[in-house]
Chains A and B, each alone.
Chain A
C-alpha cells in the first residue's frame, strides 16, 4: 500500500523535525519526506491540513486483560481503543490471569495480537512464577517467546533477597527489569494517598513512604546488580528527587509517570468517585507538581496511560471495594497535549515523551519517522477538542477519572506498519 499524507505539520522529535512536510509511505516503510519518490502513485491520500503528523505513540503500560480477564476487556476492544488513540506500540504488564510467566502464554498472546488489527504488542514477562515473588521464571525462554522486559506488576516479593536474585539473573542476560516501587507492607490495606484528604474521608492511606522506601531498596540493589532498570509510574515528589540523584550518579535507570498522575491529585477524591481509585494513588498537589516538573526537565523519561479497564460490576462499588485502575489508552495523547499546553512545553518535546523515549525504553526501532523507518504514524488535530464520555471511548472499560473533561487533540488517522488501522469518519 502506498500512502501520501499531505498538507500536515510533521513533528518527528527523534530527528529534530518540526515543519510542514508531506510523508510518503511505501510497503510499510517511510519512503520519503517532502517530495514524492520517483514513480510514486498513492493508493490512498490523507489530507492532514491543520493536523500534526507524528510517530505513532508508544505506551509502556496497557492491560489488554487477556488471558483470563476477558470480562473486563479483550484484545479486540482494547487494541481498537489504542489505535483510535494513535497508539501503535504497547507494552503489556504481566498481571493477567494466569500471569505471563510461561513461554506458551506469551506466544499465544503474540499470535492472537498479530492476527488482529491494531498496535504492535510487546509483552513484559513476569519476574517470578505466578508473580508470587518466590521462584524465578524462565526468563531466557520468555525472552525468546517475545518478552521485551520483565516486571512484577503490582505484586510484592516474598523477601528482598529474591528481588536481588531476580535483578541479578535478569542482568546476566542484560534483560531490562521494570519495577513499580511500592513497599507492600507500608501500602497494605490502603486505597488512597495518605494525606489530609484521605484522613478526612476516612479512607485507609498509602503513604508516600511506600514508594520511597521501596525505591531506596531497588536503587541500591540495581546499582549492585548492574541491571537495566526502568521505574514504572512514579507518584511522589521524593521519588522524583531520588531518581534525579540516581541518574546523576550514573545508575542505569529510566522512569515513567502515568498521565493520571500528571493531572489528578488527592483533591479530586472528595466525592468518593471510584473512578479515582487507581494505583499508585493520586497524591498531593505538591507531588503532582514535582511529577510535572520532573517530566519537563527529563528526570522522568516517558508518559504512559497505565490503561486498566475494569468492568462496571467491579467499579460501581463504594470506593475502597472497587477494583483499582483507570481506562486511559485513548486519552494518552490528549492528556500529554494538555500537560504540554499547561506547562509551556514545546510540542516536539512533549511528543518525544510518548514516542521516541518510550520506544527507546522498550528497545524497539519505532518512535521515529526517518526515511526507511517503520511506517507507524499518528495524524491528529491539535486544536480540536472533545468531551470525555463513556460513549466517546472505545475501550470496554468505562472507568476513567476524566469523565466530563474537555480535552485537546483528536486523532484522525493511525497507520501501523504501513496499514490504515484507524480512520476517524
Chain B
C-alpha cells in the first residue's frame, strides 16, 4: 500500500483497519501497552481515566456478542462514554446508508467508531469518509480483517511463549471465510514467526493463500507435527450448504482437534480458539477444557488489547 490510511504522516496509529502492512514496531507497542492494562481488571475500581470525556460508538452492522461486549468493557475501563448501536436491526432496515449513519453520529460529536460489517473493506470505506478527528477501529469486516482479535492472539502467544522468532504456529479450519485467520497470519508473519501453517481441506482455503507467507497442509497429523501453537477456527454451519463440506461429522473426523491429533504437537503446545466454539465440530471438549487450552485467558487478554488500541488511537497511553 503506497499510503497507509491507518498511520499519520509521522507514523502513529490513526485508525486500526487491518494488520496487513502495519510495521512490527506498532504491533509491539500495542502489545506492550496492553501489558500495562493487565492489572486494571483485577482492581477494586476497574477504571483508568485515560479516555474520560471521549465518545465511542460501537457500530455493529452485523450481530456480535463477544467482540461487542469486550470492546464495551474496554472502553468503560478507560472511562469513555460508550454508545452501542445494533444497526443491523435499526436504520439499515429503514434504508439509511452507511454514510448517512456515519454522518449522523459524527454530528453527535463522536471521537471513535468501532465498526463491524459483513462486507470486506467496510471499515476502510468508513475511515475514508469520517471527519479527520475520528478514529475507526475495525471490529471485523466480511472475510477481510479482525485486527484486535489478531492482536489478542499474538498477545496470548507472547504471554505463554515469550518470543516469536522460534515458533511454529498452525491455524486450522475455515481460512477461506475467516477474517480472524487473515489478521492472525499478518500479525504472526510481521512479528517474525518463522513458520506459520494453515491446515484445511482445499475447499476452505483461499486461492494463492501461500502468498500470504504460510505453508499449506491438508492433513492434520502432518500439519500439527511439532508445532508450538494450535489455533482452531470456528466452522460455520452454512459451509455444509455450498458443498464445501459433506458433513460436520466428517469434518470433525478429519480436521477436528482431538487429544490424539494434538499429541503430534510439542508437549507444551498451547491451544487457542477465537470463539465461539463448536464443540464436537472443530474441537473436542477434552481439548477445549484441557490443560493446554488457553481459550479463556484469550478472552481476558482481549480486553487489555482493546484498551491499548483505543488509548493509542486517542493519543493517550500510560
Q: Do A and B bind each other?
A: yes
Q: Which residues of A contact B (CB under 8 A)?
A: 194-196, 198-205, 207, 270-272, 274, 313, 316-321
Give the interface segment out of B23-31, B116-124, B148-156.
B116-124
Chain A residues whose C-beta falls within 8 Å of the C-beta of B145 in the assembled complex:
202
Give Cα distance in the complex from A198 to B141, angstroms.
14
B40 CB within 8 Å of chain A: no
B106-143 CB contact bits vs A (8 Å, 1 = yes)?
Answer: 00000000000101111011000100000000000111
CB pair A272 B121 closer than 8 Å:
yes
For B18, the closest partner residue in chain A by CB is A201
8 A-B pairs with least C-beta separation: A272-B121, A202-B143, A202-B144, A199-B206, A318-B119, A196-B208, A202-B120, A318-B122
CA distance A203 to B124 in the complex (A): 13
The answer for the CA separation of A271 and B2 in the assembled complex, in Å, is 10
What are 20 A-B pairs with beta-carbon distances under 8 A? A196-B207, A196-B211, A198-B206, A199-B206, A199-B209, A200-B211, A201-B144, A202-B142, A202-B144, A203-B143, A270-B1, A271-B5, A271-B124, A272-B121, A313-B97, A317-B97, A318-B98, A318-B119, A319-B120, A320-B119
- Contact across chains for A203 and B120 when beta carbons are under 8 A apart: yes
Q: Which residues of A contact B206 (CB under 8 A)?
A: 198-199, 205
List, in ascending order, chain B residues with CB within 8 A of A316's CB: 97, 99, 129
B208 and A318 contacting across the interface, CB-CB below 8 Å:
no
Using Cβ atoms and an 8 Å threshold, which residues of chain A touch B5? 271
Q: Which residue of A lies closest to B143 (CB)?
A: A202
Residues of B bordering A, CB below 8 Å: 1, 5, 20, 97-99, 117, 119-122, 124-125, 129, 141-145, 179, 182, 206-209, 211-212
A194 CB contacts on chain B under 8 angstroms: 207
With a CB–CB cut-off of 8 A, which chain B residues contact A202?
Answer: 120, 141-145, 179, 182
Nearest to A199 among chain B residues (CB) is B206
Please give, as numbers and ranges, the residues of chain A lying within 8 Å of B120 by CB-CB distance.
Answer: 201-203, 272, 318-320
Q: Which residue of A lies closest to B129 (CB)?
A: A316
Q: How far is the CB of A258 from chain B (nearest CB, A)?
A: 23
**Complex-state Cα separation, A167 to B207, whole angstroms:** 35
Give Cα A185 to B207, complex, Å. Answer: 17
Interface centre among B182, B207, B211 (most CB of A within 10 A): B207
Q: Considering the chains assembled together, what is the distance between the CA atoms of A142 and B129 in angstroms?
A: 46
The reply to whether A317 and B1 contact each other, CB–CB distance below 8 Å, is no
* Contact among A201, A204, A272 for B125, CB-based, below 8 A: A272
The one of A199, A205, A207, A319 in contact with B121, judged by C-beta atoms closer than 8 angstroms, is A319
Q: Which residues does chain B contribute within 8 Å of A205, judged by CB atoms?
A: 206-207
In the complex, given contacts A270-B1, A313-B97, what are 4 additional A-B residue pairs having Cβ atoms less than 8 angstroms apart?
A196-B207, A196-B211, A199-B206, A202-B143
Contacts of B124 in A (CB 8 A): 271-272
- In the assembled complex, which residues on chain B have CB atoms less than 8 Å from the CB atom of A317? 97-98, 125
A193: nearest chain-B partner, CB-CB: B207
A272 to B212 Cα, complex, angstroms: 18
Partner of A200 from the list B97, B99, B141, B182 (CB cut-off 8 Å) is B182
Contacts of A204 in B (CB 8 A): 143
C-alpha spacing A270/B1, complex, angstroms: 7
Complex contacts, B1 vs chain A, CB 8 Å: 270-271
Among B125, B129, B143, chain A packs the most CB atoms within 10 A around the CB of B125
Query: Which chain B residues border A270 with CB–CB below 8 Å?
Result: 1
Interchain CA distance A321-B209 in the complex, whole Å = 24
Which residues of A lie under 8 Å from residue B208 when comparing CB positions? 195-196, 199
Chain A residues near B117: list those with CB within 8 A: 318
A207-B119 contact in complex given A199-B212, A200-B182, A272-B124, C-beta closer than 8 Å: no
Give every chain A residue within 8 A of B121 (Cβ-Cβ): 201, 203, 272, 318-320
Give CA–CA (A198, B182) in the complex, Å: 12
